[in-house]
Structure 1
Amino acid sequence: MDRPVVACVLAGGIGSRLYPASRSDRPKQLLSLVGERSLLARTVGRTAFADERYVLTREAFADAVHDHAPRAGVLVEPAGKDTGPALVYAAWRLRDQFETEPVLVCLPSDHHVADDAAFAARLERAAEIAVETDGLVTVGIEPTRPSPGYGYVVPAGELEAAGDDESGSDYAAVAQFTEKPDRDTARDLVEGGAYWNAGVFAWTPSTLLAAARDSSLAPLVDALEAGNPDEGFDAAAPISVDYAIMERATDVFVTPLSVDWDDLGTWDAVGRVLGAGDETGNDVAAGEVLAIDATGNVVAAPEKHVSLLAVDDLIVAAVDDRLLVAPREASQRVREVVDRLREHDTF
């Protein structure tokens, strides 16, 4: 490809559903939940194919990001306003830093990927498709189950031929995005050939900024072009790039990837990645567990001993002076605990 490929890793969130491991001063992307390296370090490592790598984060995390990704540049967003404003800001910042306009590959910092080589190859291909189509490209993960916890991408017909690539057809126009459906709808989507929306994208800065000008983020683009990013972020409402741009834009394409993947946003997901349980029948992220008639629990208790008696499918997370106990099926609701703690300034 005759232009640089730049990886942009989003690492500005906290990860409130992984409380109490994640806190306001200890975001989940800096944690080592499923291995020795942090989620951020693992993610940046998957982007070694790129000509340049940047991490987009908030000011409070910038120094820590340097420690976890010393070979990546750091972009500091003016405020945390979800992925829509963040990615528009990154496109604006990176557009003019190269002699030739780059193609950006944008990805979250908190995902589990079992096959880094296959993932990197698909991201490289997504960058090529973005240039070939002059469009917005999303990587769709081939689903392994009808999960209501993920968004879905519905392709508009068969995959297109991959140009002179002999590997066959590898992208399609997008018919629609569906965000976190109920289980029955998720089953219908999977049976109909939909992909999981992994939040992994490729585009040129000019293409994304043009699409943003036709969205609710237009005032932000105007402010950026006028050299007033702080003013633009002050006026921007928090919104995901999916809602703000992808669901409304034309020339949106999906390229599929079949790989063992998970979004490590909840304790339930951490349990899935850890496997089908250790010798106790539980998924232990940290700590020592004694289990008696207890299986399917997710335990994260660094330097602590946890005894489980006649309980199944719980989250038991004890970090520092905080303890969370909840049904595993309620892992998406942990954010409610954090919201309540924030009301009392105790998060």
Structure 2
Amino acid sequence: MDRPVIACVLAGGTGSRLYPASRSDRPKQFHSFGGERSLLSQTMDRTAFADERVVLTRESFADEIHDHAPEAGVLIEPDGKDTGPALVYAAWRLRDRFDREPVLICLPSDHHVTDEAAFAAVLERAAEIAVETDGLVTLGVEPTRPATGYGYIVPTRSDIDEDGHAAVERFTEKPDREEATRLVDAGAYWNAGIFAWTPSALLRDARESPLAPLVDALEDGDPDGGFDAVDAISIDYAIMERATDVSVTPLSVGWDDLGTWDAVGRVLETTRDDTANDLVAGDVLSIDAANNVVAAPDSHVSVLEVDDLIVAAFDDRILVAPRDASQRVRDVVTRLRERDAF
């Protein structure tokens, strides 16, 4: 491909569902969760093919980015208003980095991937598709189970064409288990939140979306005013679900979104030894206990005759919850924020 490629890695969130490991001053992308290197560092390795790599983050995290991604540029979003405004801002800022308009590969910094080379190859192909179609491209993960914690992408047909992509019929937000099973059986994909587009393509569709005031303000040289003019909204709600030029290309590698303690446990299950529990770190004594996610790097934890729990202890904070309540950990964070204690 004769277009430059810029990998834009999103690292501005705090990861509230991984509390208490992830806090307002210590977001999840700077953690390793059982690995040797941080999630952000691992993500940067997967984008080594790009001509330029940029980390999109908030100002309070900027100084620490270079500890995890010394090879990357840092782009600070004016305000934390979810992925919609952030990615439109990135497209506007990065569109003139090269003599030719680049292709942007936009991906989160908190994913687990089993085959790095295959993953990078799909990203490169997605960039090519974005140029060929002059549209928006999303990666769809081939599901391994009827997960209720992910959104789904429904293609217009179940057989992907020889060019490696299909038009998107619709996006479906997190379904219940019955609907998730139906979607998997029908050939839908998990929505990984990984995208490819040219800046002009994204900004074109953004002008027909709730983010139009932001685009206008950016063109007038007033990014702060543009962020003030729009509400916090995800890129899916703001643009992807409304656009008519969206394609999906399959991602057929082992993948997980490390957004919850349950997901961390799933990843550890593939690498652990014969222990009955998923141990992120720490000194753990387990007696007749199984399928617990235990994360306590600086503490001793004993678990006795309990199954399917999250036990996470970081600094002076301890979380104990059923493993299947992983998505609700953000409710704890909401209450703590109300008390100014997050």
| TM-score, normalised relative to structure 1 | 0.97
Asked whether the 8 Å contact 2:298–2:314 carries over to 1, the reply is no
Tell me, yes or no, if structure 1 residue 216 matches structure 2 residue 214: no
**What secondary structure does 1:323 align onto?**
strand
Native 8 Å contact 1:40 1:109 kept in 2: yes
Aligned equivalent of 1:98: 98
The answer on whether the counterparts of 1:302 and 1:318 sit within 8 Å (CA) in structure 2 is: yes
Structure 1 runs of 4+ aligned residues shifted over 6 Å read: none
- Residue 202 (str. 1) matches residue 220 (str. 2): no
Q: Counterpart amino acid of 2:62?
A: A
Q: CA deviation at 1:279?
A: 3.6
Tell me what 2:144 maps to: 144
Q: Deviations over 1:147-206 (max 9, x none)?
A: 0000100010132222xxxxxxx1000000001000100000000000000000000000
Query: TM-score normalised to the size of structure 2?
Result: 0.98
Aligned length: 340
Cα distance in 1 between the residues matched to 2:34 and 2:184 = 28
Query: Quick check: 1:33 aligned with 2:27?
Result: no
The equivalences for 1:100-119 within 5 A come to 100-119=100-119
Question: 1:125 offset after TM fit, Å?
Answer: 0.1
Matched, 1:268 2:268: no
- Letter of the 2:333 partner, please give it: V
Matches of 2:29 and 2:53 in 1, distance apart?
16
| Structure 2 residue 291 is the aligned partner of structure 1 residue 300 | no
**SS of structure 2 residue aligned to 1:137:** strand
Q: Tell me which amino acid in the other structure corresponds to 1:270.
A: V
Which residue of the partner structure matches residue 322 of structure 2? 327
* Residue identity matched to 1:88: V
Query: Given that residues 298 and 315 in structure 2 are in contact (C-alpha distance below 8 angstroms), is that contact kept between their aligned partners in structure 1?
Result: no
Q: In structure 2, give the amino acid aligned to 1:274.
A: L
For 1:317 and 1:305, locate their aligned partners in 2 and report how far apart those are by CA, in whole Å.
11
Aligned-residue identity in percent = 76
Q: Tell me, in whole angstroms, the C-alpha distance in 2 between the residues paired with 1:274 and 1:181.
A: 25
The question of 1:193 aligning with 2:187 is answered yes
Q: Distance in 1 between matches of 2:34 and 2:286?
A: 21
Matches within 5 A, 1:1-347: 1-157=1-157, 158-162=159-163, 170-275=164-269, 278-347=273-342
Distance 1:34 1:300 in 2: 9
**How many Å separate the matches in 1 of 2:307 and 2:160?**
43
Unaligned runs of 5+ in 1: 163-169
2:81 aligned counterpart, secondary structure: coil
Question: How far does the alpha carbon of each residue in 1:191-226 deviate from its partner, in whole angstroms, 9 at most, with x for none?
Answer: 000000000000000000000000000000000010
Tell me how far apart the structure 2 counterparts of residues 34 and 151 of structure 1 sit (CA, whole Å): 26
Q: Conserved in 1, the CA contact under 8 Å of 2:268 and 2:278?
A: yes
Q: 2:281 and 2:105 mapped to 1: Cα distance?
A: 33
- Report Cα offsets for 1:9-52 as digits up to 9, x if no partner: 00000000000000000000011113010000000110001010
